[in-house]
Structure 1
Amino acid sequence: MTGAPYRIGVDIGGTFTDFVLLDTRDGSLRNGKLLTTPHAPEEAVLAGIRQMLDAHGIAPDQVQHVIHGTTLVANALIERRGVPTGLITTDGFRDVVEIGTELRHDTYDLFMRVPQPLVPRSGRIEVAERILPDGGVRMPLDEAAARAAARDLAASGVQAVAVCFLHAFRNPAHERRMGEILAEEAPGVTLCLSSDVVPEIGEYERASTTICNAYVLPVFQRYLTRLAEGLRGIGLTGPLYLMLSDGGTVGEETAARHPIRLVQSGPAGGVRATALLGGASGAADVLCFDMGGTTAKACLIEGGEPLRSLDFEVARVDRFRKGSGLPLKVPVIEMIEIGAGGGSIAQVDRLGLIQVGPESASSDPGPACYGLGGTRPTVTDADLVLGYLGAGSFLGGDMRLDVAAAERAIREHLADPLGLSVVEAAWALHETVNGNMAQAAAIHALEKARRIEGYAMVPIGGAGPVHAAQVCRKLGIARMIAPAGAGVASAFGFLASPISFAFVRGWVAPLATLDFAELAALVAGMEAEGRRMVAEAGVAPAAMRTTVIGALRYAGQGFQVEAEIPAAAIAHADRDGIRRAFEAAYLQQYGRTEPALPVEGVSWRVIVAGPTPALDLARGAGGGGAAVTGVRPAWFPGQGFVETPVIDRTRLGPDDRVAGPALVEERESTLVLPPGSEAVCDASLNLVVTVGG
């Protein structure tokens, strides 16, 4: 399929499934959007691909491959829809997943809730064995006890087993032998070893991550099987790639072994797109503002690269509180959830204030205005009542919105209880969401020691462009880069992502006594495995590149800082070079260094990647004049309803200017330009907005 000209990106969100079809011959894009089918997510994927191929007269054998991102893994963990899972661990450590770190995410709440372990205590079995921190064996694995544990779990009906022994990240011998015993005693059970999934220090985080991977793995594999069979049924015989949470893509077989690495795959695609689009307009430092149907997320991008992390939480019991979820040790693009999405439901709380989310109408029944059975007010309903969305132009007119239903939902649940008019209640809902998102984004930037005013915002997601200008004003951001196709940006980002995979190995060792021969062997082993996996996706060895990142800290600290380590520093045992790399990263994060303190390494990460696909952002579209297609009343603070020009985004070309107020529509989203703002279309067809006001 190498010579086939088309590539397809597909992103499954909580409300919509998005599609982008790229013609590699001329860089042109065709976008699509369908309501997600939560009961069987692959149904919307297959229906959307069929629609796009039929609509544009493309034969299935002309599709080179499909790149896919999904919320399936995260949703399975949040909704507890995985398989019955067991845990085998070192004698004395079965309750680690319940004890956690013993830190409280809410110091003053006497009734603080914590996430319940995915494996109940009855499913957690201890086995006598002990590996020391340096990898030495203090107590051999008790094989009789190991066999008994395997038989007990098999008899209990579990479908997956996680194995997490103490210090297995330094010596996996006992875990691997336990895996062999499980294969003999419970041959039908899915098996995950912590030394394979997350070979890093921290027994709680390592156990939690391994359990989560085992819990969702059978569900994810069944989904991949259905999707792959469906794609072949359509006639698409090219490879299926999947987006990882760190912004790389891998082949189907690799993804099936490590589904936990896809927990943030959809939003990661959006960040990839944002970095590319922002850079094309000359903005290296960008705030990605991704507001979809269910949530809004933010990510800081510096020098064209997003901030990254090896820690993530899922299934929080308190949505915005760090420490209230299940911890995962996986490489992710660092994003924070800053607010609600278009489908988030609003209500009046016990204090008489409007609260938005976390409950979402999703795609079934959807917002009240969708006319699919929803009766409660959502952000989308408010945006429709305020005139920001067009009832007859939503999704290019394919989905007509019901204004009366939106007004009825807002009146019954918000306006009447608060003694407001429907419009006042809709604006209060809209403003509440904007204020919450701006506050959360500002706090996130402060925590990273960044001044958010110096960033340019790139809004993506179906609802992002609707709310972006008002959020910019609250943050003091003067410049916004609004890309074409913002509503399907995550799917577009998949097409802009390289094939890559990251490996990490925990190894706590002082820099002063670091054995560079052992480090070189460790890095070489990870690089070899990465090259093999990237080669499986069809990347030529000569096109691969390798990056080594060390997680280091000053001795005695509990947190580490990641720094890129030059290959020459490892090859020539350059301790000073590694320390300089660490202290440069430390200085950026904390504004100071401690030259007198010794440094120690905690873990080492190797990323093997193929080339980044080249995309023509101008895409040969735009222009044609007569961009104003009509007017409709839209509500702006201080002015009320204003007769506002409606502009067809597809008719704007380079150097075209738009002055606010204006509503710039395209099929997947609407950009709201309030009074006092002005936009100019650049060579990449981004609208560069001076927010003003």
Structure 2
Amino acid sequence: MSELSGPRVTVGIDVGGTFTDFVLLENGRIRIWKCSTTPADQSRAIASGLAELGIRRAVIVHGTTLATNALLERRGARTALLTTAGFADVLAIGRQNRPHLYRLHQERQPPLVPDGWRREVAERLDAAGKVVTPLDEEAVDEVVGRLASEGVESLAIVFLFSFRNPAHEKRAAERIRARYPHLSLSLSSDILPEYREYERTVTTVVNAYVSPLVGKYLERLVQAGVEGHLPLEEGRIRVMQSNGGVVGPRQAAAQAARLVLSGPAGGVVGAFFVAREAQPDSPVAPHIITLDMGGTSTDVSLCPGTIPYTSENTVAGLPLRLPAVDVHTVGAGGGSMAWVDAAGVLHVGPQSAGAVPGPVCYGRGGQTPTVTDAHLVLGRLHPAYFLGGRGDVSLDLSAARSALARLGQALGGLTAEEAALGVVQVANATMERALRYVSIERGFDPRRFTLLPFGGAGPLHACALAEALDIPRILVPPHPGVLSALGLLVADVTCDASRSLLCNADEALAESGPLLQALQELVAQVRAKLHEEGFPRPKVEASLDLRYRGQSYELAVPLPLPPTAEAWEKVQRDFHAAHQQRYGYAMPTETVEVVTLRVRGLGPVPRPALPRTPRGPEEATPALLDLQPVWFRPDGPTATPAYARSRLRPGNRLVGPAIVFQYDTTVLLHPGWEAEVDEWGNLWMKRADSG
């Protein structure tokens, strides 16, 4: 039995920029809660929410933005780099990319490791991993001794070609641990044993930079559970990773860079789970586009029957080459601030009001209007129904109206409502570009997908975005405002491993070729780690990063196990097809190169059975609250029926315009749209003229 299957109470906790979301799973029943995030110490909001839910003991599955914030705010550990002689400036040289091609004056952020803490030692391997120059062990002692005396807390060890042979890195680490056990170490051969020196160096340095911070935070949480300050079940906690899986605190702390992109991952996992549960009889897996609009940003992902993954990510201008759910993020959230530039042009974001001070209507000192303020002024939010009218945030309509009126004056004398409509339209334009990027620009037709909006603000914008892209259907789950926290509860325990092979496809599968040996070693590695997590027989998957000879970019293709000759032929066919879809052409006669082997181990966790109720009558009158004046156009408000989501029953139908209030979000049904409640409580929305 896995560690997660024993206790009856499990809580998913997702820490966002504005709210911390809780989903409690107990005896098959789901309860939800939201409270304001405490940026200075995320554990305070966690303790507060658990107390509100009345939880005495539970297993916690936690999504944290701690590693992400440490990178964005540059407040990680005091980190140094130990590297091969002649390569200390790899971090500073980088790839010579220009973030803004036509900007004459650009400034790059300084590296995470300052010049004085990038140190070299004599050692060298060739491209095959053979020793050219032995490691100077005495130099290692001397260099690290000076760094320790200067207050360095964490050290990244990155030697040239160590992905071929990690012996020098491991020997250096042995000596350092023996003399400086307090020093946190990150080895590139452990973190990212792949080629591309700059990306490998940056990823290892990022891990060294955030690991001490994450380790101390998780240690505090576990210790609080042991001491009874937090209701942890025997101190047990899992942490969401960027790859959409969870892991225990020890492994999370050791490779904290794998948490940096974990924020959006839980939402995609939760959305895919809900979409699959909503269509149990469908012969094909869900084809959805997820729209996660929170307080600070919006994350979008296209799932063509499976959750997409990538290893090419950028965070705070830094390349992070670790597996992550493929999500595209833009700076448009409920807290995104509206402002007018010197030319009189309206902008929304990327700056956000966050949790403190938050939107103007929160009454916490905010002065700049946000997307949330705009929705309130337009009648799309209501103070009596926000967080069920019983949360720790109350909405001040007059303050929001005053802020939008000031914005309207700056835009040439617009009314507060006209300014608010402009704010929403600009935010929609930003999100529309993001949706086009993950669909049309990658060869997918959005008309063949279902839009699944969630987050606190996603369902307010869904109809407008679906209209812009001709998306025919929208699926709004029962608890969209906390779907990321639900995703934590249904995420498998996972472990990823990779290794660069850099060989032709014809060589890879030969008995003496590198693929079979590397596959055997990586499978053993992930199985051993998952055994430590309580899964003695995990599921194992593999994929290959492939490219045509002469290319410098790769596409990931699943590798069937065991890798027989037939499986290998399928891999190459799938690669040609993937290349055709992504780039519009394929070269079946060209030599295919195997760049990297990736192996993933999965420890499956029990998933909740979502409650299902038979369909009833179409009439939704019992759920009707009142008529709400809602602005859709600048010529005036429309009297719009407002419904309570908690009173809607399967089979109920709504005709737009309509607005649905619920504890964790608000759903806006535009004129010309209609909605129906299915057996699981999902709202299926479509154009009224779509048949």
Q: Judge same fold: TM > 0.5, yes or no.
A: yes
Cross-structure match for 2:329:
337
| Selected match of 1:13 from 16, 19, 22 | 16
Q: Cα offset for 1:645?
A: 1.4
Cross-structure match for 2:529:
533
Cross-structure match for 1:653:
649
Q: Cα offset for 1:625?
A: 6.8
1:165 has 2:159 as partner: yes
How do 1:131-170 and structure 2 match up within 5 A? 131-170=125-164
> How many Å separate the matches in 2 of 1:612 and 1:227?
22
1:633 counterpart letter in structure 2: P
How do 1:647-686 and structure 2 match up within 5 A? 647-686=643-682
1:446 has 2:440 as partner: yes
> How many Å separate the matches in 1 of 2:240 and 2:632?
39
> How many Å separate the matches in 2 of 1:560 and 1:235?
46
How do 1:275-286 and structure 2 match up within 5 A? 275-282=272-279, 284-286=286-288
Mean alpha-carbon deviation: is it higher for 231-240 or for 458-467? 231-240
Secondary structure of the corresponding residue to residue 679 of structure 1:
strand
Q: Deviations over 1:205-243 (max 9, x none)?
A: 011011111011111111111222233423422420111
Q: Cα offset for 1:177?
A: 1.3
> How many Å separate the matches in 2 of 1:400 and 1:69?
26
| Selected match of 2:637 from 636, 641, 661 | 641
Mean alpha-carbon deviation: is it higher for 195-204 or for 275-284? 275-284
Identity of matched residues, %? 39
Secondary structure of the corresponding residue to residue 409 of structure 2:
helix
Q: Deviations over 1:499-538 (max 9, x none)?
A: 1111111121112222545422322222222122222232
| Selected match of 2:368 from 360, 376, 382 | 376
2:653 counterpart letter in structure 1: R
Q: Cα offset for 1:580?
A: 2.9
1:205–1:328 CA contact under 8 A, matched in 2: yes
Q: Cα offset for 1:445?
A: 1.9
Mean alpha-carbon deviation: is it higher for 453-462 or for 580-589? 580-589
1:261 counterpart letter in structure 2: R
Name the CA shift for 1:664/1:516 in 2 (closer, same or farther; >3 Å). farther
Q: Cα offset for 1:622?
A: 10
Q: Cα offset for 1:403?
A: 0.5
1:617–1:685 CA contact under 8 A, matched in 2: no
Secondary structure of the corresponding residue to residue 529 of structure 2:
helix
> How many Å separate the matches in 1 of 2:136 and 2:506?
37
How do 1:309-458 and structure 2 match up within 5 A? 309-315=310-316, 325-398=317-390, 399-458=393-452
1:561 has 2:555 as partner: yes
Q: Cα offset for 1:619?
A: 5.7
How do 1:481-492 and structure 2 match up within 5 A? 481-492=475-486
Q: Cα offset for 1:338?
A: 3.0
| Selected match of 2:589 from 591, 596, 608 | 596
> How many Å separate the matches in 2 of 1:350 and 1:136?
60
Q: Deviations over 1:18-73 (max 9, x none)?
A: 000012x3x32101000000000011011101211x2xxx5x24x3x211111111
Cross-structure match for 1:257:
254
Cross-structure match for 1:318:
none
Mean alpha-carbon deviation: is it higher for 525-534 or for 266-275? 525-534
Cross-structure match for 1:631:
627
Cross-structure match for 1:98:
92
1:313–1:328 CA contact under 8 A, matched in 2: yes
| Selected match of 1:212 from 206, 210, 214 | 206
Name the CA shift for 1:559/1:105 in 2 (closer, same or farther; >3 Å). same
> How many Å separate the matches in 1 of 2:671 and 2:600?
46
Secondary structure of the corresponding residue to residue 219 of structure 1:
helix
Name the CA shift for 1:545/1:424 in 2 (closer, same or farther; >3 Å). same
Cross-structure match for 2:686:
690
| Selected match of 2:611 from 604, 608, 618 | 618
1:293 counterpart letter in structure 2: G
1:621–1:650 CA contact under 8 A, matched in 2: no
> How many Å separate the matches in 2 of 1:452 and 1:273?
20
1:625–1:651 CA contact under 8 A, matched in 2: no
Mean alpha-carbon deviation: is it higher for 381-390 or for 414-423? 414-423
2:296–2:331 CA contact under 8 A, matched in 1: no
Q: Cα offset for 1:590?
A: 2.8
Cross-structure match for 2:492:
498
1:348–1:354 CA contact under 8 A, matched in 2: yes
Secondary structure of the corresponding residue to residue 273 of structure 2:
helix
Secondary structure of the corresponding residue to residue 603 of structure 1:
strand
Name the CA shift for 1:263/1:516 in 2 (closer, same or farther; >3 Å). farther
> How many Å separate the matches in 2 of 1:520 and 1:45?
45
1:118 counterpart letter in structure 2: L
Name the CA shift for 1:397/1:112 in 2 (closer, same or farther; >3 Å). same
1:512–1:575 CA contact under 8 A, matched in 2: no
Cross-structure match for 1:177:
171
> How many Å separate the matches in 1 of 2:568 and 2:85?
38
1:296 has 2:283 as partner: no
Cross-structure match for 1:241:
238
> How many Å separate the matches in 1 of 2:177 and 2:593?
38
1:150–1:181 CA contact under 8 A, matched in 2: no
> How many Å separate the matches in 1 of 2:213 and 2:61?
20
Unaligned runs of 5+ in 2: 280-284
Q: Cα offset for 1:583?
A: 2.5
> How many Å separate the matches in 1 of 2:410 and 2:586?
57
> How many Å separate the matches in 1 of 2:12 and 2:569?
44
1:582 has 2:583 as partner: no
Once superposed, what is the RMSD of the aligned Cα atoms?
A: 2.0
Q: Deviations over 1:599-653 (max 9, x none)?
A: 1111111111022533323366998971112222111126621121111111122
Q: Cα offset for 1:132?
A: 1.4
1:592 counterpart letter in structure 2: Y
Name the CA shift for 1:203/1:656 in 2 (closer, same or farther; >3 Å). same
Q: Cα offset for 1:551?
A: 0.8
Q: Deviations over 1:60-99 (max 9, x none)?
A: 24x3x21111111111100011011100111111111111
Cross-structure match for 1:321:
none
> How many Å separate the matches in 2 of 1:358 and 1:658?
35
| Selected match of 1:86 from 80, 83, 87 | 80
1:11–1:70 CA contact under 8 A, matched in 2: yes
1:609 has 2:611 as partner: no
Q: Cα offset for 1:593?
A: 2.1
Q: Cα offset for 1:411?
A: 2.1
Secondary structure of the corresponding residue to residue 517 of structure 2:
helix
> How many Å separate the matches in 1 of 2:448 and 2:554?
27
